[in-house]
Structure 1
Amino acid sequence: MAKISNRTIAAAAGAAALVLAGCSTGNDDPAGSGGSGGSGSDECVIGMTQINQTAAFFTQMNEGAEEAAKEAGCELTIANANNDPAKQNSDIENFTTQQVTGLIVVAIDVNGVLPAVKAAKAAGIRVVAIDAELEEGAADTFVGVDNEAAGAEAGQWVVDNGLASGSYGVVDARNSFIQNQREDSFREVIDAAGATHTQSVNGDNVQEKAATAAQNLVTAEPDLDFVYTTGEPATVGAVAALDPESKTKVIGWDLTAEVIAGIDSGLVTAVVQQDPRQEGVEAVNELEAILGGAEPQGFIDVPITIVTQDNVDDYRAIFE
């Protein structure tokens, strides 16, 4: 998104819109509906920069944040970066201009987002990162999963269930720092146990691209025992690309209705499931507490669950 040329006008318009709007629907552009100003501790005006509005993981996170903001009496605007790091930086800059008091960052690029985040902190804005951890000191608190540890946990599950003796490929998202962590730590565990890695293909965290990448992978490597997918678009894409009767199974991250259907058919063996709604709740509650004078917690761990046919029924209602 191009930067707004007249920041004063944008800030004034944004302030008026946010006072009227309260919580956003989660699809707003901060230039049009952004924050209401000031750094007073009695104000809880939050800007949230989200990666996209298509993945269920992110929409559930938004829902949790919106519910928590309504409960806390905070004003919340969510800006959709639509997988574009440049737009995400611009959105953060706009929130800073609008003088929000709190910022939630779901980073596409944890390094590329730093200049805008640091400028926001320098302006007195409190920052919470969700899902992707920023460098030390960039955010007051990180809410989410230890992705490196969770990737290793998934790998150990594969080893413990006797699935690490064959060959596998990976559908990843090389533009995602955390998905690279999930891949590296998973591979380290299962490769040490004897699994054979063939190749990794890039789905760019976009479902259609991931489906094509998965199809290309299994066409080139028809005898794979399983495909490891590092995020929701890759998992959904792999499920769409693979024949449910195939000997190649899917082990990956993040449930959707399509992925649950894959578990039911036997195509999907296991899924690392996070709790994105709770991550959104925790982020807003943490900012409300910090703005009220509490010390930042630094890290709020939201545990994972490995979902299989044995426990998938616990999640069906979420994705109906």
Structure 2
Amino acid sequence: MSEFGYFLSCEEFTPEQLLAQARRAAEAGFTRLAVSDHYHPWNDAQGNSPFVWSMIGALSQAVDLPLTTLVTCPTVRLHPAVTAQAAATSAVLLRGRFTLGVGTGEALNEHVLGDRWPAFSERAEMLEEAVEVMRRLFTGGQVTHHGRHYTVENARLYTVPAEPPPVLVSGFGPAAAALAGRIGDGFVTMTPDRDLVGEFRKAGGAGKPVIGGVKVCWDDDRDRAVDLVHRLWPTELLPGELAQLLPSPAHFEQAAELVTPAMVSDSVTCGNDLEAHVSALRSYVEAGFDEVYVGQIGPDNEAFFDAYHHRVLPALAT
């Protein structure tokens, strides 16, 4: 049976707000948490970008729920040896309840040190090597590695969990799904695509978890919810590889001018229709997802948590 978790958006909320949401999510009956990792928000209206590893440390002391990064990029902005140390410490703080979700990243976050932004095929190769390096470091042994993309000299993590954290690999197309099946302990993808899940399973993912996430906007006024989503998250509707290639919030704002309120209304679950929210989450269950993370857009979290606690999550349990 699928589990339902709450998605903490580091792009939209302050550290204090994220901690409050995590506590409220636990009270509302969500059984897991996920957190994004961004250096920049997608646009200036979202307005935040706290450092995910600091947030994970704080969350480990605020709630007892399992926590997954959705997702971090261990290849450009942070070296995989540094990411491995951060992940190992997170797993210790969370007493084994930490899962490392990784992906090939977006230029929006990874270009900030001036590095060249490679094509997907090279980024996938970098991610595979990074995962290999991190898995070796999670053992607590000394690691020296001279690869095509990364060098590690006499590195050893002295603070490691009893068991290494699972490494889930994110992907949005067949090639990425196949990579996840081959090197990952699970698959992360954001759309309820049964065919993509099948590609992951065929490539070595049989028996491994599939997790995804969806953003909604619970509001008694549906038109107000649509307007809010259109202002804060029009980037959710940008097609193709734009999300991986555009380098700044300003560029996303320019591209998002192509997204209309009608497109938001057709594509994002807005308003307080119980069946619409239940149907949106059930589509992931029917596509074979093991965990589904729900993020509320906008400041009215209390109404969202109350509705999901008393209405949406109970309906999904039947």
Give the structure-2-normalised TM-score.
Answer: 0.33
Greater Rg by CA: 1
Which structure has more relative contact order (CA 8 Å, sep 6+)? It is 2
Please report the TM-score for the alignment, with normalisation by the length of structure 1.
0.33
